[in-house]
Amino acid sequence: MTEMWQSVTRKVEMDIPFVVKDVVLNDPALAEAVLRIQLLAHQVEVNWLNYPALPVMWHEVSQVMACRDRVIGAFEGEALRGVLVASKRQQGGWHIERTVVDPAHFGAGWGYRLLNYLLADADEVSVDTAEVNAAAIALYHKAGFVLEQRWNVPDGLVLWRLLYQAGRLCPVVHLEPSGWVREARQVPSPNYDAREHGRPELLVIHNISLPPYRYGSQAVEQLFTNSLDPDEDPFFATIRQLRVSSHFFIRRNGQLVQFVPVQARAWHAGVSSWQGRERCNDFSIGVEMEGCDFEPFTDAQYQMLLALVQELRQYLPLKAMTGHEDIAPGRKTDPGPYFDWARVRREIDLPM
């Protein structure tokens, strides 16, 4: 990649844009911040649902501090942006009691970050939400929840119980002789050329999010097809001139997108070296995971990655799998500390 891309990504990766963590509500200042956000978000939700009877979890700081459920907080610097409260289920796993985000920061991804943190080490999670709460249902569907039960409360509100189960998906993919994966959404990129040194031996894992730390847009596809609109986000103007690509992109929901056939050389690694060999693009396959250095990847992503690698190994002489940070140390940090190499190693018999 160009020096511009190197400098832009280095600056982004050095910053810590957010922290999501378990919190204990024994600090009155934190408890007061939690109460404030809950009450503000509650009022917005009442208006959205047109349901004044919607209960609040807490009315005063002392009730917040008495909470014995699991509480996860999302912070931007020292500022609290959102809270997720979950209780232990008798049958195991977690039940989400409430997810609230500061209304001044709606639409910035805080609800998803809280949910993603909870799901990172959970086998099963349930949640109840109103059928008319389209934003909440879309959030849970995006994270892999499915409808388990639908019922009416006495005053007519329709509720959904949604359930998440890790390992629910069992993707199957097929590599065609053309070098394209049949089940992938194929978005051909112009940013590739012919391999000059044989077939790919190395699989390189990256992470990417555009805008930074935001998921679900078409911006990654636009970047890899030279169609990024610089007016959509200030960051886009700094990278619009790049000519980069990857073979594959795995979205948060596990969807597989392919840009370059595996026989061709995608432009994903930049200045790089593996076992003394320079120019890793010449002999590698690039897989971009939708994500960043600061939060876990999803179960659906790992399942698709594992299915993809198992299929590629049937037809390509892959010898190893590594991270972008390992072939470009000091310049790159992806896929980052949250990528679960141990999980991948258990399933894939490739040196890492």
In this structure, are 86 and 213 located in the same domain? no
- The answer to whether residue 4 sits within a structural domain is no
Residue 4: pLDDT band with limits 50, 70, 90: very low
Which residue has 């709460």 as its token pair? 133
For residue 41, pLDDT beyond 80: yes
Q: Which residues pair with 287 in a beta bridge?
A: 205, 248
- The answer to whether residue 2 sits within a structural domain is no
d(CA 202, CA 189): 21
In this structure, are 220 and 281 located in the same domain? yes
CATH number reported for the structural domain that contains residue 34 in this entry:
3.40.630.30
For residue 3, pLDDT beyond 70: no
**pTM value?**
0.89
Mean pLDDT (the chain, rounded): 93
- The answer to whether residue 196 sits within a structural domain is yes
Per-residue confidence (pLDDT) for residue 2, from 0 to 100: 32
Per-residue confidence (pLDDT) for residue 267, from 0 to 100: 98
For residue 197, pLDDT beyond 80: no
* Residues identified as active-site: 288
In this structure, are 70 and 187 located in the same domain? no
- The answer to whether residue 83 sits within a structural domain is yes
- The answer to whether residue 8 sits within a structural domain is no
In this structure, are 175 and 135 located in the same domain? no
In this structure, are 143 and 292 located in the same domain? no
In this structure, are 240 and 138 located in the same domain? no
Per-residue confidence (pLDDT) for residue 331, from 0 to 100: 95
- Among residues 348, 182, 350, which one has the least CA distance to residue 261? 182
In this structure, are 52 and 69 located in the same domain? yes
Per-residue confidence (pLDDT) for residue 13, from 0 to 100: 41
Per-residue confidence (pLDDT) for residue 8, from 0 to 100: 36
Per-residue confidence (pLDDT) for residue 170, from 0 to 100: 84
Domain count, the chain: 2
- The answer to whether residue 229 sits within a structural domain is yes
In this structure, are 36 and 156 located in the same domain? yes
Q: What is the tens place of the pLDDT at every residue in 123-170? A: 999 999 999 999 999 999 989 999 999 999 888 899 999 999 998 878
Per-residue confidence (pLDDT) for residue 179, from 0 to 100: 97
In this structure, are 85 and 123 located in the same domain? yes
In this structure, are 222 and 121 located in the same domain? no
Per-residue confidence (pLDDT) for residue 12, from 0 to 100: 36
- The answer to whether residue 141 sits within a structural domain is yes
Domain end, chosen from 165, 193, 211, is at: 165
CATH number reported for the structural domain that contains residue 191 in this entry:
3.40.80.10
Q: What is the tens place of the pLDDT at every residue in 307-334? A: 999 999 999 999 999 999 999 999 999 9
Looking at residues 244-271, what average pLDDT do you find? Answer: 97
For residue 206, pLDDT beyond 70: yes
Residue 14: pLDDT band with limits 50, 70, 90: very low
d(CA 68, CA 272): 49
DSSP-assigned letters across all residues of 226-291: T---TTS-HHHHHHTT-----SEEE-TT--EEE-S-TTEEES-S-S-EETTEE-GGGGEEEEEEE-
Per-residue confidence (pLDDT) for residue 339, from 0 to 100: 98
Domain end, chosen from 165, 199, 217, is at: 165
Q: What is the tens place of the pLDDT at every residue in 78-128? A: 999 999 999 999 999 999 999 999 999 999 999 999 999 999 999 999 999
Task: Give the range of the structural domain holding residue 300, as residue numbers without chain letter.
Answer: 168-347
Question: What percent of the chain stands above pLDDT 90?
Answer: 89
Residue 71: pLDDT band with limits 50, 70, 90: very high
- The answer to whether residue 298 sits within a structural domain is yes
Domain end, chosen from 146, 165, 184, is at: 165
d(CA 131, CA 297): 28
CB of 143 closer than 8 Å to CB of 116 = yes
> What are the tokens at 70?
């699991």
For residue 245, pLDDT beyond 60: yes
Per-residue confidence (pLDDT) for residue 196, from 0 to 100: 82
CB of 239 closer than 8 Å to CB of 228 = yes
> What are the tokens at 157?
């509100």
Per-residue confidence (pLDDT) for residue 219, from 0 to 100: 97
In this structure, are 309 and 208 located in the same domain? yes
In this structure, are 24 and 100 located in the same domain? yes
Looking at residues 275-303, what average pLDDT do you find? Answer: 96
For residue 11, pLDDT beyond 80: no
Q: Which residues contact 219 (CB under 8 A, 6 or more apart)?
A: 210, 211, 228, 232, 233, 236
CA angle 309, 123, 101 (to 5 degrees): 100
